[in-house]
Amino acid sequence: MTYEELEAKVELLTKKLALYDKLDYKLRTQHPERSGMFFICGIGGKNVPEANELPEYLSICPAYGVSHSFSYKLQLQTKNAITW
């Protein structure tokens, strides 16, 4: 194989790995009962226009089947920075 062919193959494999990572993350977050991944279990408050219509409050469940969750409140620090 020439250098150009190897370079093209590495680029293709890099793209495939990126696609695999996206799919893996999507599958883990869509089925938290199987993967043990955290998920959003509730939202509250009004949507904040300055924060791309994100809700004011989020509840995050750390794993499927646990009896507790964590609540986060949206805080706008600067014009373009959003923190929870």
H or E element that contains 46 = strand 39-48
Instruction: Give the C-alpha separation, 26 to 69, whole Å.
Output: 21
Q: What's residue 81's pLDDT?
A: 65
Alpha-carbon distances, residue 47 vs 7, 31, 58, 63 (angstroms): 47, 26, 11, 26
Q: Which residues have C-beta within 8 Å of that of residue 82, sequence separation ≥ 6?
A: 51, 54, 74, 75, 76
Res 83: pLDDT: 67
pLDDT level of residue 33 (50, 70, 90 thresholds): confident
| pLDDT for position 75 | 85
Cα 47 to its chain centre, rounded Å, is: 19
The pTM is what? 0.57
Arithmetic mean of pLDDT, 13-34? 90
Predicted confidence at residue 82, as pLDDT, reads 65
Domain boundaries, the chain: 3-83
Average pLDDT of the chain, as a whole number: 88
Please tell me the distance from the alpha carbon of residue 27 to that of residue 30, in angstroms, as a whole number: 5
